[in-house]
Amino acid sequence: MTLSVNRDRNPEFILLSFVLHAVFAFFLIRHHAEEPKSVAVPLGITFEIEQKEEPAKPIQKPVQKIEPQKKNVQKEIARAVESKNIVQPPTATQKIEAVNVQTRESSQAKAEVTDSEPKPVKEIPASFTADYLKNPHPSYPSISRRLGEEGKVLLRVQVSADGFAGAVTVQKSSGFERLDESALNSVKNWRFVPAKKGDQNIVSWVLVPIVFSLNR
């Protein structure tokens, strides 16, 4: 009895099961239809995308910064100021003029010094050779002639400002005393042209040579 009931109800059970499966399938399909399409990305496509090499990025060259024109203007102004402050070397003409000015100044200075300094006064030594003096030659001692004595006496004479002989000394002897004494006695009475310093007569010393010769 029980087996028969199950056989009779078996088609209904199958139908009910089919309906339930259909409803379940409907809701399942609807649920999948409402989900975003992006989720259903094939796994194979994602895998291939990950294996692709990214293209090399281009190397960017450093961009040179262009300074504002204001800085260039400031630099030009600074250069202009520096060029004005730089002292230009003197030209050849300027050097020659400077040398000429220095020469003139030195010449003027020397002239001023020369004018301020006293000029040296010219001195004229005393003399005894003037004809108008008429000084006699010393006498030759007779005994010296007989003995053949001769020689040259050099006398040193002090001449006064008036032209007279002051002190007379033997600077160099003739070798004979008689000849030396004759020269001294004679020259002491001579007249001289006194020495001069400028326009003024001065006292001075003069050398007077006296020669004694038997041939005269």
Q: What is the 3-state secondary structure (H, E, C) of 144-168?
A: HHHHCCCEEEEEEEEECCCCEEEEE
Q: Does 98 map to a domain?
A: no
Give this prediction's pTM: 0.45
**In this predicted model, which residue has the larger pLDDT, 188 or 87?**
188
Which residues are registered as beta bridge partners of 200?
A: 197
Question: What length is written for the chain?
Answer: 216
pLDDT at residue 119, as a whole number: 74
Q: Is the model's pLDDT at 174 over the cut of 70?
A: yes
Between 63 and 39, name the one with better pLDDT. Answer: 63
User: What is the Cα 168 distance to its own chain's centre?
Assistant: 67
Can you give the pLDDT at residue 205?
95
Q: Is the per-residue pLDDT at 38 higher than 60? A: no
Residue 93 vs residues 98, 103, 113, 187: alpha-carbon distances, Å: 9, 15, 30, 71
- Do the domain assignments include residue 175? yes
Q: Which domain holds residue 141?
A: 137-212
Residue 28 lies in a domain: no
Asked, for residue 8, whether it belongs to a domain, the answer is no
Q: Of the ranges 2-11, 14-23, 94-103, which is most confident? A: 14-23
Stretch 6-15: mean pLDDT, rounded? 63
Quote the pLDDT of residue 78: 72
Taking only the tens place, the pLDDT of each residue in 54-63 is 556 666 665 5
Angstrom CA distances, 94 to 88, 90, 91, 128, stand at: 12, 6, 5, 63
Please tell me the least confidently modeled range out of 11-25, 46-60, 111-125, 173-187: 46-60
Question: What whole-number distance in Å separates Cα of residue 151 and Cα of residue 212?
Answer: 5
| Structural domain includes residue 67 | no
Q: How far apart are CA 41 and CA 79, in angstroms?
A: 71
Residue 13 in this model has a pLDDT that exceeds 90: no
pLDDT at 163: 93
Q: What is the pLDDT of residue 151?
A: 95
pLDDT of residue 72 exceeding 80? no
Torsion of Cα atoms, 170 then 175 then 176 then 177, to 10°: 40
Q: Is residue 52 part of a domain?
A: no
Could you count the other beta carbons within 10 Å of the beta carbon of residue 10? 10
Asked if the structure places residue 120 within a domain, the reply is no
- CATH code at 152? 3.30.2420.10
Q: Name the residue with higher pLDDT: 59 or 212.
A: 212
Q: Determine the Cα–Cα distance for residues 169 and 183; give it in Å rounded to an integer.
A: 10
Confirm whether 74 is domain-assigned.
Answer: no
pLDDT digit string, tens, across residues 108-154: 766 665 555 667 878 889 888 877 888 999 999 999 999 999 999 99
Q: Number of structural domains, the chain?
A: 1
Give the chain's mean pLDDT. Answer: 75
